[in-house]
Chains A and B, each alone.
Chain A
Amino acid sequence: MTTPAAPAAEPVLYLDGVTVTFDGFRALNELSIVVEPGELRTIIGPNGAGKTTMMDVITGKTKPDRGTVRFKQHDLTRLDEVRIANLGIGRKFQKPTVFDHLTVVENLELALKGERRPLIVLFARLDADERARIDEVLTLVGLTARARAPAGLLSHGQRQWLEIGMLLMQDPELLLIDEPVAGMTDHETHETAELLRRIAGERSVVVVEHDMEFVRALARRVTVLHEGRVLAEGPIDHVQNDPRVIEVYLGR
């Protein structure tokens, strides 16, 4: 389990009493979640439990009616999506979108932190540090052998890893990952669990997932959402045996 170096380490993500209402429907209801530095947290819950809304609130896509949302010392409710992304929160959406006609390396190159203005990009060349960074991420996501392949030729699982790699190029402190293993083979699912465990530690990772096999493979702290609030939280074994969780989710 995560053992923060300093006992009073400031949490990376701090949600307290967050409420979001859509036309009278409470998507989030007094939601409170704390994620520590380097933690790998899994969020599960039935459809409509508020998982996606929670991600939207953290990334600034949705503004909460009330409650506290903090990333380290920053109040996220006051910032827009771009500012939040620049603070170091990366989000991977469900559907992988990589650039099919560019190679794996080129995809990572475009995602690299740095100058974005056209005339500067026109003359941009990778320096040694940047190449080393690309190599490091290639190794991490296990795509070194496919570095020069066009992304369009990758398998579904590899595309997901490439997209995670693109997020890593921006060097975020907190990664939000939405259903990474949907549509993956069992083998790919296990590889993905391995990958996320490797990534966590240096940075915090929050994964939303349906697939219980994958959640077990991650074997980390699990938060169960139900009707916009936390129903249970703890290690997977503990959560799986919670009678309330079994009733609303696992025991269907």
Chain B
Amino acid sequence: MGGPITAALAGGRAGGRAGRSLWLIWAIALAAVPLLNKLPADSPFYLSDFVVSVTGKWICYAILALSIDLIWGYCGILSLGHGAFFALGGYAIGMHLMRMIGSRGVFGHPVLPDFMVFLNWPALPWYWHGFEYFVFAAFMALAVPGTLALVFGWLAFRSRITGVYFSIITQAMTYALMLAFFRNDMGFGGNNGFTGFKDLLGIPLQTPEMRSALYVASLLALMLSFLLCRFIVSSKLGRVLVAIRDAESRVRFLGYSVTAYKLFVFTLSAVLAGLAGALYVPQVGIINPGEFSPANSIEAVIWVAVGGRGTLSGAILGALAVNGAKSWLTTVAPDLWLFVLGGLFVAVTVVLPNGLIGLLRRRKRDEGNGQ
């Protein structure tokens, strides 16, 4: 009798042939882009450095989408401030990149970044110490968003702030951080943020090799995040998360601490968002307080909604599809983009509640029935 129940609980829906073809897509995406970038520039299959960077950037967005889907799609927590965790991860790695400029800055100061020299600061503020080490910066890129989420989440979830109220205070959180980072005396470069990066781990950022390496690192990070999220959502903890989404008070009544579960998944999600930001900044070469803007966080939520909330591959698909459309449309008709984005959100809500993934699955099922 154990058989059917074990199978019902295993949640191994992506197994078999579908699972194998998924791995093939991953492998091709991993190898193809850097290899095509190696071709001679006149080859029809040549991918320019620009394309490598742009796809690398989209992959970072996909990690951010995954982190939002984990809490929103599975646990029903709609964070409209996830861009803040992304930006904090980006700032942490940005601080390292600033320190690595060294005396090559405009003012040529051996230690202080240009903006500090400009502000006549005599020495490095205490919180800038340690960022000269990559490992420390990489750790902070995950630890700072995680700690903020832990404290913020503890205050919110303990007071049982849910639904739209939670969404509003996350908007306020990212807005407040944006205003704070705009201030010169915060020591994060004010409204200019950080830019003019030179190299990472001794390799110049502008070289094709570095761009390919960052692309590969981003894709590996996305893969690992995907596997981690899949492990979580198919575990018993994942089922508790879905139960919290469906009927929170009933879960509490069963003896589970809803606060502890939400805190766990919210913090993990913020760490993933920080990871995405940390991979993003070296590829775009700039980070400024605009990354904290509330609109960024909302846009990321729209990717998830378009792709298909509550399915991990949907979140990834949504981030790639919407950003692909954005890149294309902002060159063709730049004024239209915001209308399209808004229209997309309305259309998905009304017509496609399960997003693109829902559409694909329905088509697959129809084909299956037709045979």
Whether B8 contacts A124 by the Cβ 8 Å rule is no
Q: Pick out which of these stretches binds chain A: B28-36, B77-85, B113-121, B242-250.
A: B242-250
Q: Which residues of chain B have C-beta atoms less than 8 A from A101's C-beta?
A: 242, 245-246
Whether A135 contacts B5 by the Cβ 8 Å rule is yes
Whether B255 contacts A85 by the Cβ 8 Å rule is yes
Q: Which residues of chain B have C-beta atoms less than 8 A from A166's C-beta?
A: 254
Q: Which residues of chain A have C-beta atoms less than 8 A from B243's C-beta?
A: 99, 102, 110
Q: Which residues of chain A have C-beta atoms less than 8 A from B260's C-beta?
A: 117-118
Whether A99 contacts B246 by the Cβ 8 Å rule is yes
Q: Tell me whether B1 is interfacial, beta carbon within 8 Å.
A: yes
Query: How far apart are the CA atoms of A106 and B241 in the complex, in Å?
Result: 12
Which residue of the partner chain B has the closest CB to A163? B250
Interface string of A77-112 (1 = CB under 8 A from B): 000001001100000000001111111011001110
Whether A102 contacts B8 by the Cβ 8 Å rule is no
Q: Tell me whether A147 is interfacial, beta carbon within 8 Å.
A: yes
Q: Which of B214-262 contact A (CB under 8 A)?
A: 232, 235-237, 239-240, 242-243, 245-247, 249-251, 254-257, 260-261
Query: How far apart are the CA atoms of A154 and B1 in the complex, in Å?
Result: 22
Q: Tell me whether A122 is interfacial, beta carbon within 8 Å.
A: yes
Query: How far apart are the CA atoms of A119 and B268 in the complex, in Å?
Result: 12
Q: A118-B260, A118-B264 are in contact. Are A110 and B240 (CB under 8 A)?
A: yes
Q: Tell me whether A244 is interfacial, beta carbon within 8 Å.
A: no
Q: Tell me whether B202 is interfacial, beta carbon within 8 Å.
A: no
Q: Tell me whether B9 is interfacial, beta carbon within 8 Å.
A: yes
Q: Tell me whether A66 is interfacial, beta carbon within 8 Å.
A: no
Q: Tell me whether A216 is interfacial, beta carbon within 8 Å.
A: no
Q: Which of B252-293 contact A (CB under 8 A)?
A: 254-257, 260-261, 264
Whether A124 contacts B235 by the Cβ 8 Å rule is yes
Q: Pick out which of these stretches binds chain B: A49-57, A126-134, A232-240.
A: A126-134
Query: How far apart are the CA atoms of A135 and B9 in the complex, in Å?
Result: 13
Q: Which residues of chain A have C-beta atoms less than 8 A from B250's C-beta?
A: 97-99
Q: Tell me whether A198 is interfacial, beta carbon within 8 Å.
A: no
Q: A100, A128, A148: which contacts B246 (Cβ < 8 A)?
A: A100
Whether B5 contacts A122 by the Cβ 8 Å rule is no
Query: How far apart are the CA atoms of A147 and B239 in the complex, in Å?
Result: 16
Q: Which residues of chain B have C-beta atoms less than 8 A from A126's C-beta?
A: 5-6, 9
Q: Which residues of chain A have C-beta atoms less than 8 A from B240's C-beta?
A: 110, 118, 121
Q: Tell me whether A116 is interfacial, beta carbon within 8 Å.
A: yes
Which residue of the partner chain B has the closest CB to A149? B8
Q: A82, A110, A131: which contacts B1 (Cβ < 8 A)?
A: A131
Q: Tell me whether B122 is interfacial, beta carbon within 8 Å.
A: no
Whether B2 contacts A131 by the Cβ 8 Å rule is yes
Whether B1 contacts A116 by the Cβ 8 Å rule is no
Most chain A CB within 10 A, of B5, B240, B260, is at B5
Q: Which residues of chain A have C-beta atoms less than 8 A from B9's C-beta?
A: 105-106, 109, 126
Q: Tell me whether A123 is interfacial, beta carbon within 8 Å.
A: yes
Minimum CB–CB distance for B115 against chain A, Å: 42
Q: A99-B242, A106-B9 are in contact. Are A147 and B4 (CB under 8 A)?
A: yes
Minimum CB–CB distance for A143 against chain B, Å: 12
Q: Which residues of chain B have C-beta atoms less than 8 A from A100's C-beta?
A: 246
Q: Which residues of chain A have C-beta atoms less than 8 A from B5's C-beta?
A: 105, 126, 131, 134-135, 147
Q: Which residues of chain B have C-beta atoms less than 8 A from A98's C-beta?
A: 247, 250
Which residue of the partner chain B has the closest CB to A91? B253
Minimum CB–CB distance for A96 against chain B, Å: 10
Whether A122 contacts B236 by the Cβ 8 Å rule is yes
Whether B235 contacts A123 by the Cβ 8 Å rule is yes
Query: How far apart are the CA atoms of A162 and B20 in the complex, in Å?
Result: 37
Query: How far apart are the CA atoms of A7 and B180 in the complex, in Å?
Result: 76
Whether A109 contacts B236 by the Cβ 8 Å rule is yes
Q: Which residues of chain B have C-beta atoms less than 8 A from A110's C-beta?
A: 236, 239-240, 243, 251, 254, 256
Whether B6 contacts A118 by the Cβ 8 Å rule is no
Query: How far apart are the CA atoms of A98 and B246 in the complex, in Å?
Result: 8
Whether A102 contacts B4 by the Cβ 8 Å rule is no
Which residue of the partner chain A has the closest CB to B74? A101
Query: How far apart are the CA atoms of A124 and B234 in the complex, in Å?
Result: 11
Whether A116 contacts B257 by the Cβ 8 Å rule is yes
Q: A106-B239, A122-B237 are in contact. Are A116 and B6 (CB under 8 A)?
A: no
Q: Which residues of chain A have C-beta atoms less than 8 A from B249's C-beta?
A: 97
Which residue of the partner chain B has the closest CB to A126? B9
Q: Which residues of chain B have C-beta atoms less than 8 A from A135's C-beta?
A: 1-2, 5
Most chain B CB within 10 A, of A86, A116, A121, is at A121
Interface string of B326-353 (1 = CB under 8 A from A): 0000000000000000000000000000
Minimum CB–CB distance for A175 against chain B, Å: 15
Whether B236 contacts A148 by the Cβ 8 Å rule is no
Whether A102 contacts B239 by the Cβ 8 Å rule is yes
Minimum CB–CB distance for A9 against chain B, Å: 29
Query: How far apart are the CA atoms of A18 and B247 in the complex, in Å?
Result: 34
Whether B256 contacts A116 by the Cβ 8 Å rule is yes
Query: How far apart are the CA atoms of A123 and B235 in the complex, in Å?
Result: 7
Q: Which residues of chain B have C-beta atoms less than 8 A from A170's C-beta?
A: 254
Which residue of the partner chain A has the closest CB to B247? A97
Which residues does B use to contact A, with CB under 8 Å? Answer: 1-2, 4-6, 8-9, 232, 235-237, 239-240, 242-243, 245-247, 249-251, 254-257, 260-261, 264
Q: Which 10 pairs of residues, A with B, have the shortest CB-CB distance? A: A122-B237, A99-B243, A148-B8, A97-B250, A124-B236, A99-B246, A118-B264, A121-B237, A131-B2, A135-B1
Q: A99-B243, A105-B8, A122-B236 are in contact. List 4 more A-B contacts (CB 8 A).
A: A98-B250, A99-B242, A118-B261, A132-B2
- 25 A-B residue pairs with CB within 8 Å: A86-B255, A97-B247, A97-B250, A98-B247, A99-B247, A99-B250, A101-B242, A101-B246, A105-B9, A106-B9, A109-B239, A116-B255, A116-B256, A116-B257, A117-B260, A118-B237, A118-B260, A119-B264, A121-B235, A123-B235, A124-B235, A124-B236, A131-B2, A135-B5, A166-B254
